[in-house]
Amino acid sequence: MFTISRRLVIAVTLATALISAPVLAQDLTGTLKKIKETGVITLGHRESSMPFSYYDDKRQVVGYSQDMMLKAVDAIKAELKLPKLEIKLVPVTSENRITLVQDGTVDLECGSTTNTTERQKQVSFSNSIFVVATRLMTKSSSGIKDFPDLAGKNVVTTAGTTSERLLRKMNEDNHMKMKIISAKDHGDAFQTLESGRAAAFVMDEVLLYGEMASAKNPREWAVVGTPQSYEAYACMMRKDDPAFKKVVDDALAKVMTSGEAEKLYAKWFLQPIPSKGLTLNFALSYALKKLYKSPNDKAYE
């Protein structure tokens, strides 16, 4: 009886091992399957969202969000047991980033993309990586102190952003008669402000600090105004792909809860920015500390 039972256990164990190995490979679906079969992952990045995702002086993509995304890539590589994984970088804008994720051009996008309930109908979002407030930048001598002061003035923002939507709603609801200029990206928006074609630039506060730090004379500019919204940045991926989302979420959660995220924060927001030599001196907020402690993928709306 003992011999028969032992042989049966061994037979069942061997059969299970033989069956489960190929099933695990066959069970890969969606983005993980695509990456495994091609050996390539395509990452979407911004060109001028400093210090989140931008080109340095060597045209290399760098930034806080880029560092976070590469941590997720390391986890994907380990999950798929790939000795080598080719990374393909694709620049995206505020206007085309969702479409490029949806149509499969980009597998994962990490830049300065806000997680909103409306966007969740089109794409999935990872655990959030940053928390921001919407404010405005203007010349220190302009006399503009808050959003009501923008009435009747030219105001620039970046096309396809939540800031653009907020600004247009504010203009309509309060009959402010602003002329809203929609720029291609944050760099173009700041150039519009710097050239005098706009009296203010409305955008996420930390991005405004990034543009101000790179200005010819940063002291000419001021970030002011009552915060109009609080938003969470996250990485984007295609909808209905829970296996891929889990790998990304777990990787980002590990970075945040281990203390590594705070080191990345210090690198990009408290120390001279690599290749730029500029320091934002943007203190770690209570909201971001809370996120690092308890990572989640919730929109702030």
- Cα separation, 3 vs 185, in Å, equals 73
Looking at the structure, do residues 225 and 197 belong to the same domain, yes or no? yes
Residue 23 lies in a domain: no
Question: Could you tell me the pLDDT band of residue 14, with boundaries at 50, 70 and 90?
Answer: very low
Looking at the structure, do residues 154 and 284 belong to the same domain, yes or no? no
Residue 153 lies in a domain: yes
Residue 87 lies in a domain: yes
Among residues 229, 249, 264, the one where a domain terminates is 229
pTM of the model as a whole:
0.83
Q: What is the pLDDT of residues 165-197, one digit of tens each?
A: 999 999 999 999 999 999 999 999 999 999 999
What is the reported pLDDT for 26? 56
Q: What is the pLDDT of residues 43-94, one digit of tens each?
A: 999 999 999 999 999 999 999 999 999 999 999 999 999 999 999 999 999 9
Residue 7 lies in a domain: no
Looking at the structure, do residues 249 and 206 belong to the same domain, yes or no? no
Query: Token match 């320091």: residue?
Result: 279
Domain that includes residue 66, residue range: 29-131+231-293
Among residues 196, 229, 262, the one where a domain terminates is 229
Looking at the structure, do residues 182 and 201 belong to the same domain, yes or no? yes
Among residues 229, 259, 280, the one where a domain terminates is 229
Looking at the structure, do residues 102 and 237 belong to the same domain, yes or no? yes
Looking at the structure, do residues 211 and 240 belong to the same domain, yes or no? no
**What is the mean pLDDT of the segment spanning 211-228?**
92
Question: Cβ contacts of residue 60 below 8 Å, gap of 6+?
Answer: none
Looking at the structure, do residues 45 and 108 belong to the same domain, yes or no? yes
Q: What is the pLDDT of residues 103-143, one digit of tens each?
A: 999 999 999 999 999 999 999 999 999 999 999 999 999 99
Residue 17 lies in a domain: no
What is the reported pLDDT for 19? 43
Question: Could you tell me the pLDDT band of residue 5, with boundaries at 50, 70 and 90?
Answer: low
Residue 250 lies in a domain: yes
Looking at the structure, do residues 120 and 158 belong to the same domain, yes or no? no
Looking at the structure, do residues 125 and 138 belong to the same domain, yes or no? no
Residue 13 lies in a domain: no
Residue 79 lies in a domain: yes
Looking at the structure, do residues 42 and 120 belong to the same domain, yes or no? yes
- Cα separation, 131 vs 52, in Å, equals 12
Question: Cβ contacts of residue 209 below 8 Å, gap of 6+?
Answer: 223, 280, 282
DSSP string for residues in the chain = -HHHHHHHHHHHHHHHHHHHHHHHHHT--HHHHHHHHHSEEEEEE-SEETTTEEE-TTS-EESHHHHHHHHHHHHHHHHTT-S--EEEEEE--TTTHHHHHHTTS-SEE-SS-B--TTGGGTSEEEEEEEEEEEEEEEETTS---SGGGGTTSEEEEETTSHHHHHHHHHHHHTT---EEEEESSHHHHHHHHHTTS-SEEEEEHHHHHHHHHTSSSGGGEEEES----EEEEEEEE-SS-HHHHHHHHHHHHHHHHTTHHHHHHIIIIISPPTTT------PPPHHHHHHHHS-------
Q: What is the pLDDT of residues 229-275, one digit of tens each?
A: 899 999 999 999 999 999 999 999 999 999 999 999 999 999 998 77
Q: What is the CATH number of the domain that holds 276?
A: 3.40.190.10
Looking at the structure, do residues 211 and 256 belong to the same domain, yes or no? no
Looking at the structure, do residues 205 and 282 belong to the same domain, yes or no? no
Q: Tally the domains of the chain.
A: 2
